[in-house]
């Protein structure tokens, strides 16, 4: 299960290409929730893989929160709350 909660913020980043000319890139940060029955790492990868189907130029992912669902003394689901940063064309 993956849920896109919405846009958190937009900000400008300046970087230099190989010709040392200034280029402005607009980056967007969204919050994404994901889960897995395997691990927190798998939940993170599922979120990035799913987001990459509709978003181009994903730059980074920040795992903001980990949680797990427990049933009968065993972890049944790993959950992550992520911040995903991508470049807007």
The set of residues, in sequence order, having a beta carbon less than 8 Å from that of 72 and lying 6+ positions away, is none
Q: What is the pTM of this model?
A: 0.71
Residue 55 forms beta bridges with which residues?
Answer: none
Per-residue model confidence as pLDDT tens for the chain (89 residues): 555 554 444 333 334 444 445 567 889 999 999 999 999 999 999 999 999 999 999 999 999 999 999 999 999 999 999 999 999 88
């Amino acid at each position: 299960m993956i849920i896109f909660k919405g846009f958190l913020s937009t900000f400008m980043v300046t970087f230099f290409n190989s010709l040392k000319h200034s280029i402005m890139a607009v980056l967007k940060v969204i919050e994404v929730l994901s889960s897995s029955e395997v691990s927190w790492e798998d939940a993170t990868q599922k979120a990035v893989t799913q987001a990459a189907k509709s978003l181009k130029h994903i730059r980074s992912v920040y795992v903001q929160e980990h949680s797990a669902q427990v049933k009968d003394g065993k972890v049944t689901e790993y959950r992550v709350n992520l911040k995903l940063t991508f470049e807007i064309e």
